[in-house]
Amino acid sequence: MVDLKELRDEIDSIDRQIVELFEKRMDICQKVAEYKIRTGKKVFDRTREQAKIDTVKGLTRSEFNRHGIEELFQQIMAMSRKLQYQLLEENGVAGRLPFIAVDEIERSKVRVVFQGVEGACSQAAMKQYFNEDITSFHVEQWRDAMEAIAEGSADFAVLPIENSTAGSVYDMYDLLVEFENYIVGEQIIRCEHKLLGLPGAQLSDIQRVYSHPQGLSQCKPFLEEHRGWKQIPLENTAVAAKRVAEEGDKSQAAIASAFAGEQFGLQVLADKIYLNEANSTRFIIITNQRIFRKDADKISICFEQPHTSGSLYNMLSHIIYNNLNMTKIESRPIEKRNWEYRFFIDFEGNLNDSAVKNALRGIREEAKSMKILGNY
C-alpha cells in the first residue's frame, strides 16, 4: 500500500517544479512585453491565445484533464497579460484617458436640470450639491434631462441612480450608455417620510393619503394604524404633496419629505412614520464634459464581454490584480441580443492612478466594448 506521506511529498516536488516553470514563463513574458513596447504591438491576441489553448488541451489524456488544462492556461495567460499591461504603464506607453482633471466642479452660476416637479427629492439633492446662485429648471422624464445636457441647454443634471431599500434605477444605467454624458459627482438624500396636510388639518380629518407606491410601502406600519384611510399611489411623493396643496381638502394628506411640504406650504401631521430609518437615495450629478475632480475617489464603468465561460471573471480580475476595491456591480440586458448582458461596476480610485490606468487598459483590450461613465 502506497504511503500517503510519500504521495504528498511527490506532489510537493511537482508543485516546486510548477512554480519554477511559472516564474521562467513570466520572465519570458516580460521580454515579450519589452518587444511589444518597442513595436507598438497590442498585448491581447485572442486568436493566438485560443490556438495555444487548443494545442495544450490536445496533450491531455482525459476529458476532465482537458477541461482543467483549458482553465489553467486561461488563468496563466491572463496573468501574463496583466504583467505586460503593468510594464506598459511603467514605461509610459499606457496612453492617455480622454478625461481632464479639474480642481473643482462648478457649483455656482451654472444651469441645472432636475427631473420631477418642484419639491421633488431630486430638487432637494440639487440644492444640497449646488450653491444658491444657479439657474435651475425641471423636466418630466429622466431622458428629457439627459437630452438637455447633451444639447447644452443645461450644464448639469441631477438624477437618481440608487435607493438603499428599493435598489438601482435601472433605466438610468441604460441612459448612461445611450448618451455621451458623464458622472462628476453624487449626493445622498435621506428618505425621511412625513405625513403632510393642509395648515390647520388634524389626523382625525384625514380620509385619503397620496404618495409614490414605495412611499406607501415604506410607511406600512404607520398606515396599518389608520386602516380607514384610502391609500392612493401617484408617480412621486412631490406630486402627492402638490395635489394636496392644490385641491385644498383637509381630508387629504401626502406622504412626502419635509422639503416638499415647505415647497407647497403644507404642515407636518406625523413625523418619523417610515419603516427604515437608514433609507436613502443616491443621486448622480451629470454633465456632457469629460472632466473629473483631482481628488475624485470613485470610478464607474460599463463593459460588454465575450459570451463565453469565465469571461466575467477575466474582466473583474483586472480590478483584483491591481489591488482596487470594487464597491458595486449591476447587469442590464443588451438590446437585440437575447440573454447577453452589459455589466456596470463601481470601484475606488482616480483616473490619474497608475493602477486604475492599468486595470482600465486590460478591460478595454479584452472586452467587446468599455465606457468610462465617470470619476467622482
* Tens digits of residue pLDDT in 246-305: 999 999 999 999 999 999 999 999 999 998 888 999 999 999 999 999 999 999 999 999
117 in Cβ contact with 65 (< 8 Å): no
Terminal-to-terminal C-alpha distance of the chain: 64
Q: Is position 281 annotated as part of the catalytic site?
A: yes
The model carries a pTM of 0.83
Domains, the chain, ordered by start: 1-93 (1.20.59.10), 100-191+279-293 (3.40.190.10), 195-270 (3.40.190.10), 296-376 (3.30.70.260)
Instruction: Specify the residue for cell string 421633488.
Output: 120
Higher pLDDT residue, 346 or 89? 346
Of 281, 292, 303, 347, the catalytic one is: 281
Of 114, 130, 259, 283, the catalytic one is: 283
Query: Distances from the Cα of 249 to the Cαs of 14, 108, 119, 208, 264, in angstroms?
Result: 83, 39, 19, 10, 14
pLDDT bucket at 95, cuts 50 / 70 / 90: low
What whole-number distance in Å separates Cα of residue 233 and Cα of residue 238?
12
Q: Is position 283 annotated as part of the catalytic site?
A: yes
Cβ neighbours of residue 290 closer than 8 Å, sequence gap 6 or more: 98, 99, 100, 182
Helix or strand run (H / E) with residue 167: strand 167-168
Query: Distances from the Cα of 125 to the Cαs of 89, 183, 258, in angstroms?
Result: 39, 15, 13
- DSSP assignment of 289-333 equals S-EEETT--EEEEEEE--SSTTHHHHHHHHHHHTT--EEEEEEEE
359 in Cβ contact with 324 (< 8 Å): yes
What whole-number distance in Å separates Cα of residue 183 and Cα of residue 289?
9
User: What pLDDT score does 43 carry?
Assistant: 87
Query: Distances from the Cα of 237 to the Cαs of 214, 227, 250, in angstroms?
Result: 9, 20, 18
| Residue 154: pLDDT over 80 | yes
Query: 170-178 and 142-151 are packed helices; what angle lies between their axes, rounded to 10 degrees?
Result: 20
Cβ neighbours of residue 50 closer than 8 Å, sequence gap 6 or more: none
User: What pLDDT score does 121 carry?
Assistant: 94
Cα 358 off chain centre by: 20
User: What pLDDT score does 92 carry?
Assistant: 74
Query: Distances from the Cα of 141 to the Cαs of 45, 145, 183, 212, in angstroms?
Result: 44, 7, 18, 16
Q: List, for residues 8-57, the tens digit of each pLDDT value.
A: 999 999 999 999 999 999 999 999 989 988 888 888 888 998 999 999 99
The C-alpha cell of 171 is what?
433605466
Pairing relationship of beta strands 182-190 and 280-287 according to DSSP bridges? antiparallel
In this structure, of 18-32, 91-105, 232-246, the range with the lowest mean pLDDT score is: 91-105
